[in-house]
Amino acid sequence: MNSMNVIRECLPGPDMMTRDKLYINGSWVPSSGESSLTVENPTNREIIGSVPDGTIEDADLAVDAARNAFGDWSKSSIEERISILHSLSDQFKQRADEIAELITKEVGTPIEYSKVAMVGTPRVVSKSYAKLLESYQWEEHVRNSTIVKEPIGVCAFVTPWNFPLHQIIGKVAPAIAAGCTMVLKPSREAPLNAFLLADMLKEIGLPSGVFNLVSGRGSTVGTRLSSHPDVDMISFTGSTSAGIKVAENAAKTVKRVTLELGGKSANVVLEDADVVRAAKSSISACFANSGQTCSALTRLIVPKSKMGEIVPIVIERAESYKPGDPMDPSTRCGPMVSAKQKESVLEYIRLGISEGASLVAGGLESIEGLENGHFVRPTVFTDVGPDMTIWKEEIFGPVLCITPYEDEDEALRLANDSEYGLSGGVWSSDEGRAIEFAKSMRTGQVSINGGPFNVSAPFGGYKKSGNGRELGAHGLEEYLEVKSIQRPT
């Protein structure tokens, strides 16, 4: 990196957003520390904002606020919670453009995708929990017992940068619905949207202490929240290595832990599939959000006899997936979130080449006109074997691996040949056949013939992709304790 680029990285952008306070107990309060964390636009490396680098003391204050608020909020009416969730959904609708543009600047997500996935999905999720509460059964009777469901207590959330607001709302909305109170530590790469959320929750009248926001580092704020004796549950989304540390920290206080971690998901094309449709879809299934998606279908497993049909379509589609300015509505692939993430993806491409995979699209070359950002060419490898690093490890960038198979048994072995199990896809002209194949995949979610994401269905993984579920009724129940009350017979 030359000195001009170093200088450029340090320059604030024209629309610098400085948030110098934390949201605790319904008020914006100074951090007990004096440091701040800067937020970089990965498209041009301009500094677009800053937030407090929160401390252990800040985390403790936020947990105290959540604990003190829990008594009243846990007894709040279902009607009040429904109203709050509807109001939050309305706020997302009213501020959609503002939020989408901010997240595009923080993460580099193409603006049209931001409007749908980064704002539209949180809006729908909030509304879905309001709808769920209208008919949710909080009690049931089993012989001489009354089984009641109660809010678990104070919840701590540590969230990632790739879908920052969606991952936050996937935790905040069910916690509100359940009657829990909470402390959020957003990602340090993309925290500004969380501050907008706090503004919105304050505006709609969520009672003080129910939601608290402490920005900072995982090593300080995150570690304190995961080990805090007054936190009853921690929900973490991020890398598997970090999730293991969260679980280890939480074990000391025997709190509930939900983890949504990495993925290396398989997209299987069966022999009778519409190969043209499957091949075209495979690019967006892998490259959406510039490949920075935990549930991306990054391993395309195809019949050996169909390779000649599928690979040229994939190459053509990948080459049309041009990286560019994410604020341009025509852009489909933005930058990696940081210089570190860009270098990580490039290193995986180097490994793929050195280990013998065939590079058929993309590669290591820089992109003319985009040198100031953290851009990577959308890349496709064929001849990828199960012994290769790019087959085994989550790349978290726009890199697709294609592998052939001889028969369906081999296809299933290849699909399940991963330490992860978050998502998957199956293509077949016979839906019943595809469903039977999907049932044998060791993964938490499978899309049949490109079936769309459902915010009311449970989302989560098998194996090292985590434990617990988010979204829908299953997501709500992660925030509930179950009590049996026995009557005399």
* Active site (catalytic) residues: 260, 294
Measured CA to CA, the distance from residue 273 to residue 114 in angstroms comes to 31
- Residue 487 CA: distances (Å) to CA of 137, 141, 145, 146, 209: 20, 11, 6, 8, 36
Measured CA to CA, the distance from residue 483 to residue 152 in angstroms comes to 11
Q: What count of Cα atoms within 13 Å lies in the side-chain half-sphere of residue 233? A: 22
**Is the Cβ–Cβ distance between 439 and 431 less than 8 Å?**
no
Measured CA to CA, the distance from residue 239 to residue 261 in angstroms comes to 5
- Say how far residue 129 (Cα) sits from the centre of its chain: 18
- Tell me the chain's radius of gyration from C-alpha atoms: 23
Tokens 């983890």, residue located: 259
3-class SS at 474? helix
Q: Tell me how many helices (H) and strands (E) the chain has.
A: 17, 23
What's the CA angle centered on 51, arms 257 and 207, to 5 degrees?
60
Closest listed residue to residue 178, CA positions, set 212, 132, 214: 132
